[in-house]
């Protein structure tokens, strides 16, 4: 795997390989010494043109646990704020010998440009571009779903964390509901592509004003009724953050009021009680508690929101390994002993 730019670039075999590699990475993180020598001598640059907490720290942690040297680049306070172009920034990183570049950018398509314009020789990983794609978020979501639901709910929360549960499996037969601000969500777009590639049935639930034009071409079902969708007993319910900052920038109102949105599309205590016993609650974060998700739902025993964050480190370790140390899709999945 040379780059990871788009969830659509991954075949089923590619996706399963990344998830299986992440399982091996996660298994190493239960040891007293978590650091691996796998990427010693490599340099990874976190090139972030947008604010981020979870994603940036997750990639930084992943690279450091693989023994890579990490450079964190923020647009604020850099030459970008003085007008430097993406090309000139890329050429600077190339001159400094970057082996891998993790990029988050407000413009959709920026990672593709960086990877294919010929400015850098480094592997490029998309950490989120505009409202377009966020492939590693989709991978960590798929990893979390598989760990809990690959055996259709037999993985209980009281059994302890087994990083290798579900290894080798896809998500065939599982139902996933993705609820909320689909219009502005790169997470929704990436998850629809990846989860369906892995065999899951995906339903998007949102008010009509928050459904993108052209969604009819996506490989999923669209619903405007959350209660009707929950009645179909989905295995996982993924709540999306209402991106009020993007709505304000567009200068429009997408729903009458926060109270109205919460009443129609929020996961509250009443809807929580209707979920299947084995169903899990997900959220990419940060959460707007009281808007798209209630405090009771966010903190429920079936909520895997915190686990998504920890799984993100393992998944990003796997992606960095496969782009910087692996040898393509034919490469065997490393075992935790080999990684050590």
* Binding-site residues from annotation for carbamoyl phosphate: 54-55, 104, 134, 137, 285-286
Helix axes 12-28, 135-149, angle to 10 degrees: 70
**HEC-encoded secondary structure of the chain:** CCCECCHHHCCHHHHHHHHHHHHHHHHHCCCCCCCCCCCCCCEEEEEECCCCCHHHHHHHHHHHHCCCEEEEEECCCCHHHHCCCHHHHHHHHHHCCCCEEEEEECCCCHHHHHHHCCCCCCEEEEEEECCCECHHHHHHHHHHHHHHHCCCCCCCHHHCCCCCCCCCCCCCCCEEEEECCCCCCHHHHHHHHHHHHCCCEEEEECCHHHCCCCHHHCCCEEECCHHHHHCCCCCEEEECCCCHHHHHHHCCCCCCCHHHHHHHHCECHHHHCCCCCCCEEECCCCCCECCCECHHHHCCCCECHHHHHHHHHHHHHHHHHHHHCCCCCCCCCCCHHHHC
Q: Which residues are annotated as a binding site for L-aspartate?
A: 82, 186, 241
Closest CA relative to residue 177, chosen from 215, 141, 198, 203: 203
Q: Which residues are annotated as a binding site?
A: 54-55, 82, 104, 134, 137, 186, 241, 285-286
Closest CA relative to residue 273, chosen from 254, 300, 235, 308: 300
């Amino acid at each position: 795997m040379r780059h990871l730019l788009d969830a659509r670039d991954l075949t089923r075999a590619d996706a399963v390989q990344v998830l299986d590699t992440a399982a091996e990475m996660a298994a190493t993180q239960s040891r007293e010494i978590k650091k691996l020598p796998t990427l010693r001598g490599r340099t990874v640059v976190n090139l972030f043109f947008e604010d981020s907490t979870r994603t940036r720290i997750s990639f930084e942690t992943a690279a450091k646990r693989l023994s890579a040297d990490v450079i964190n680049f923020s647009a604020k306070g850099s030459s970008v704020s003085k007008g430097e172009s993406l090309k000139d920034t890329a050429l600077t990183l190339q001159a400094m010998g970057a082996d891998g570049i993790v990029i988050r950018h407000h413009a959709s398509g920026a990672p593709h440009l960086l990877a294919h314009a010929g400015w850098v020789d480094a592997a490029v990983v998309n950490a989120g571009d505009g409202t377009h794609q966020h492939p590693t978020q989709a991978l960590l979501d798929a990893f979390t779903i598989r760990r809990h639901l690959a055996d259709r709910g037999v993985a209980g929360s009281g059994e302890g964390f087994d990083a290798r549960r579900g290894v080798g499996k896809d998500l065939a037969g599982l139902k996933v509901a993705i609820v909320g601000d689909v219009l502005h969500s790169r997470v929704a777009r990436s998850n629809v592509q990846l989860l369906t590639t892995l065999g899951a049935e995906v339903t998007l639930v949102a008010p009509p004003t928050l459904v993108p034009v052209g969604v009819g071409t996506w490989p999923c079902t669209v619903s405007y009724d959350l209660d009707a969708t929950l009645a179909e007993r989905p295995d996982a319910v993924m709540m999306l953050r209402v991106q009020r900052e993007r709505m304000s920038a567009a200068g429009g109102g997408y729903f009458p009021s926060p109270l109205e949105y919460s009443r129609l599309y929020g996961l509250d205590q009443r809807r929580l009680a209707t979920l299947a016993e084995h169903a899990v609650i997900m959220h990419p974060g940060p959460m707007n508690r009281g808007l798209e998700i209630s405090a009771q739902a966010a903190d429920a025993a079936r909520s895997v929101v915190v686990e998504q964050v920890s799984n993100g480190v393992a998944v990003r370790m796997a992606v960095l390994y496969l782009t910087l140390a692996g040898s393509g899709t034919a490469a065997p999945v490393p075992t935790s002993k080999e990684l050590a």
